[in-house]
Amino acid sequence: MGDSAIAATRATAGEGGWAQRGAGILLAGLLGLTAFLAWRSLGWPLVHDAPIMHYAAWLGSQGAVPYRDVFDMNFPGAHLLHRLVLALLGPGDWGFRSFDLLWLAGTAALIGGYCLSFGVWSAAVASLLFSVYHLAGGAWRAGQRDFLLTLFLLAGLWGVARAWGSGARLPLVAGGLAFGSAVVLKPHALLFLPLLAWAGARRGRIALALTAWVIPPLAAGLWLGWIGGLLPFLEILVRYLLLLYSGLDRVSPLEALRWHAYGVPFWSLAGFLVALSLALALVRRRFDLRRGLLAAGLLYGIIHFVTQGKGWEYHLYPLALFALLMATTELDATISDGGRVSRALMGGGLALLIIVLGLKGVEASDAPWIAAKERRVTAVVADLRGRIQPGETVQVLDTTEAGIHALLRLRVREPTRFLYDFHFFHDAETAYIRGLREEFVRDLLNRPPRFVVLFERGWPRGGYERVNEFPELLNWLEGNYAVDRQGDGYRIYARR
C-alpha cells in the first residue's frame, strides 16, 4: 500500500473516530434533556382534555353508559383506557402522570426495537427524540388520544415487518390486534388495514390477519351493545361527528404550524432530516421494507393531521413519530462510513432539532396558561364545596376551561348528559342541533341543578354572551337563577 493510500485510510479512520465521539456527545445531551424534562414533568397537573375523559370514566363507574348518558365524540378506546387508569391509579394528578410516563416508556421501547435493525445509534436516538418531543409538549398533551395511538400504530407496523420477514403467525396476529386497537381509539387508523391485508395475503394468511384486526373493534362494539351505548354511539358518529363536527373550525395545516410553539423550526428541521435520510438510503441502496413502512406511516401522519382539520398540535403525534424514526434510519451508516458532508448535515440537523425541542420543553414545563387553569379549577371547587347536598347536581357550560375538572374533584354529577356546551352554538339551524338543544332544556327543566357555572371562554369562539344565541336556555337561566359568585373566567348561578 502506497503512502497516499495509507494516509487516506488513517484520515478516514480519524474522521470515523471523531464521528463516533460527536455522536456520543449528541446522545449524552439528548439523554440528559430527556431526564431533565421528565423530572420537570413530575408535577404536571391533570389538565385540559384529560379531566373530561376522567370524569366520563368516573360517571361510567357510577352506572352511566357512554354516549347514551354521556355525550362525547371520542371513540370507545378512550373511555376504556381512562376507566383502566381510574381503577388502577386513581383520579389524581400523580396517577395520570404515572400512566403517561409508563405509556411513553412503552412507546420508546417499541421504537428502539423497531429501529434496532438500522443500528444501535438509530434505536437510541429515535427513542429519546420521540420522548423529548412528547415531554416538550407540556402538561396539556399528556395522555392525548393521538399520543396513545402511536404505540398501537408502531406495534402494528413492527408486526407486519416481522411477519413479512419470517412468515411467522404470531407477529401477524400481534400486528392485526395492534391496528384493530388503534381503530378503537381513533378511526383514522383504518387506513392501515390494506397494509395489514397485503402482508397477510403475501403469506397466504389474510384471513388470520383480518380476524386478528377485527377482534378489538368487535369487542368494543359488543361491550357497547351489552350496556346500551352502541346505538347512541353510532348516532353521534354519523349525525354529529361526521356531518357537523368534522367541519367545525377548520384551519389550514400550514397556518396551524405557524401558531404552534416552535412549530416552524421543528418541522423544518424534521423535514430536512427525513429528506436527507431518504436520499442517503436510496443512494446507498438501503431502502428496505422497514423504511418503506415508515414512509407509509409518514403518509398516514399527514392524512391524520389534515383530515381532522382543527390544527391542534397533538394531532401531529403520528406524523412526528414516523418523521423522527425516518430521520434517524441512516444515522449508524453515516457515523461509520459516511462522508464529511453527510455527517455534518445529519449531525448539525440533529443538534439543532434537540436545541429547538429543549427550548420548547423548558417553556412548556411551566406554561402560565396551565397554572391559570389549575387555579381556576381550585377556585370553582372552593366556591361550590359544602354548598351541594347529596343528590344535587351542577351543570357547567364550558369546554376545557375547568368546569368538568371541578366536578370531578367534587364527585358531583350533572343533570344532563352534556359535558360541553359548544354543541349548542354551531350549525344551530340543523335538525340535529335543534334536537340537542331541546333535550338539554328539557333535562334542565325536569332535573334543575343546584348551580349553573357559566365559563367566559367559549370554543371555538364567544364569551358569556354566547348564551344569547340559545334563547330557550337564556330564558330558563334568567327566570330561575341569579348570579351568586363570580371568579376569574366564570360565573356561578344559584337556583332562586
Shared-domain flag, residues 41 and 54? yes
Question: What confidence score (pLDDT) does residue 274 get?
Answer: 98
pLDDT of residue 6 exceeding 60: no
Q: Answer yes or no: is pLDDT of 182 > 80.
A: yes
Which of 29, 278, 57 is closest to 132 using CA atoms? Answer: 29
* Average pLDDT over every residue of 374-401: 96
Residues 284 and 415 occupy one common structural domain: no
Residue 16 banded pLDDT, cuts 50, 70, 90 = low
pLDDT, one tens digit per residue, over 222-240 is: 999 999 999 999 999 999 9
Please, which pLDDT band fits residue 23 given cuts at 50, 70 and 90? confident
Instruction: Examine residue 2 and state whether it is found in any structural domain, yes or no.
Output: no
265 and 125, same structural domain? yes
Same domain, 189 and 98: yes
The confidence band for 11, taking pLDDT boundaries of 50, 70 and 90, is very low
Q: How confident is residue 12, by pLDDT bands cut at 50, 70 and 90? A: very low
Tens of pLDDT, residues 33-88:
999 999 999 999 999 999 999 999 999 999 999 999 999 999 999 999 999 999 99
Q: 338 CB contacts (<8 Å, ≥6 apart)? A: 19, 280, 330, 346
Q: How many CA atoms lie within 13 A of 356 on its CB side?
A: 19
Which pLDDT does position 7 carry in this prediction? 42
Mean pLDDT within 365-379: 93
- How many domains does the chain fold into? 2
Could you read off the pLDDT of 433-477 as tens digits, one per residue?
999 999 999 999 999 999 999 999 999 989 999 999 999 999 999
Give domain status of residue 300, yes or no.
yes
Determine, yes or no, domain membership for 13: no
In this structure, the answer to whether residues 77 and 46 fall within a common structural domain is yes
Q: Span 393-400, mean pLDDT?
A: 97
- The predicted model gives 373-377 an average pLDDT of 95
127-141, 164-178, 287-301: the lowest-pLDDT one? 164-178
Residues 380 and 346 in one domain: no
Residue type (1 letter), 58? W
Q: Are residues 120 and 143 in the same domain?
A: yes
Over 90: is that where the pLDDT of 14 sits? no
Domain with 381, as residue range(s), is: 369-495
User: Using CA atoms, how far apart are residues 493 and 496, in angstroms rounded to an integer?
Assistant: 9
The answer to whether residue 11 is domain-embedded is no
User: Within this chain, do residues 340 and 409 fall inside the same structural domain, yes or no?
Assistant: no
Per the model's pLDDT, the better-predicted residue between 99 and 257 turns out to be: 99
In a domain, 331, yes or no: yes
Compare 284 and 454 and report the one with higher pLDDT. Answer: 454
Residue 333 shares a structural domain with residue 456:
no
Quote the pLDDT of residue 165: 77
pLDDT (mean) for 160-182: 91
Mean pLDDT of 413-430: 96
pTM of the model: 0.94
* One domain, residues 68 and 177: yes
Share of the chain above pLDDT 90, in %: 88
Q: Answer yes or no: is pLDDT of 416 > 60.
A: yes
Section 123-148 average pLDDT: 97
Closest CA to 420 of 71, 42, 100, 4: 71
Cell of 457: 371562554
Specify if 7 maps to a domain: no
Please report the pLDDT score of residue 166 as a whole number: 78
Where does the pLDDT of residue 15 fall: very low under 50, low under 70, confident under 90, or very high at 90 and above?
low
Q: Are residues 217 and 351 in the same domain?
A: yes
388, 323: one domain: no
- What single-letter amino acid sits at 426? H
Mean pLDDT (whole number) for 268-294: 96
User: Which percentage of the chain shows pLDDT scores above 70?
Assistant: 97
**CA–CA dist 322, 112 (Å, integer):** 13
Q: Is residue 60 part of a domain?
A: yes
Residue 461 is assigned to a structural domain of this protein = yes
